[in-house]
Structure 1
Amino acid sequence: MYTPIRALAAPVNTTIQLQTLLTLISLPSTEKVDLFAGRGTEGAATVIVVARGRFAGIGPAEVVYDALTLSVGEQARYAEMRELLDLAVASKKCYVSSKPASASAHLPPEQAIALLRGQGASELLTHHSRPAFFALLSDVREADITDFSRPG
């Protein structure tokens, strides 16, 4: 049985949020990571994460990160999201939902996890599924942003 836990309130700095998620995905003890596209406190699209694993000092747990502010609203934020999605694809343990997630930060962690899991993050994030997930986070296709961000 996995203990439901809510990650502490997100740091204001998105760089720290990104590093936290990159580390989480990279940990051998992380068994599965579900990524959802949701809405942050200011209405911007953001990533919501539920990670399952056997973590040092905690034991078997499911951790919900639903207070993040990672988004693709501007070029610097897109670079963070690209780094997260690149690692998520490479890890082969990240799954995505094909529909926007409901707000869950107001719920106790066990209810938030149940709500999110009920919305089905059942598709392995791959190069093929990534564009559809990205479309939930932005009205602009990732390929267009990537092309725009290249020099020359």
Structure 2
Amino acid sequence: SDEANGKGIKAVAAKDGITAIKIKSGRMLLAYGFLRKVFEVFERFKTPIDMITTSEVAVSVTIDDTTYLSEIVDELKYYGAVEVDSDQTIICVVGENLIEQKGIINKILEALKYFKLRMISYGGSRHSISILVSSNDKKDALNSLNGIFSS
């Protein structure tokens, strides 16, 4: 079907200049109000978040405005170990109702299997999946995703 071979994808876009911040905290993450406290740090420094992923022990966010990065990191250290990855790119794959298309996510991830995927955000929108990669991998990752259209 068109969905299974990638024809459900309408566009692929990339946003450069992204910094990923991971806060790892086994003791705090499941605590009531933890995410609110993390978000308040970004709010205090008027720094919007582009992407977010969570697990049992960590929360990762991306920002494109690093004006207050050192201050943000200093405050986040109170909540856990903080890792910062600069020079990242968000690749966004857009399609009509992607969440309903069987096999489309497998095709996207298969196309990116040789790249280190720093974050994946899926489900916030029915029409897109966002993937964070090193900016060094951006061109090759986009070329690989282009293969979905022609297969």
TM-score where L is the length of structure 2: 0.28
Higher relative contact order (CA 8 A, sep 6+): 2
- Bigger helix share: 1
Point out the structure with max Rg over C-alpha. 2
- Bigger strand share: 2
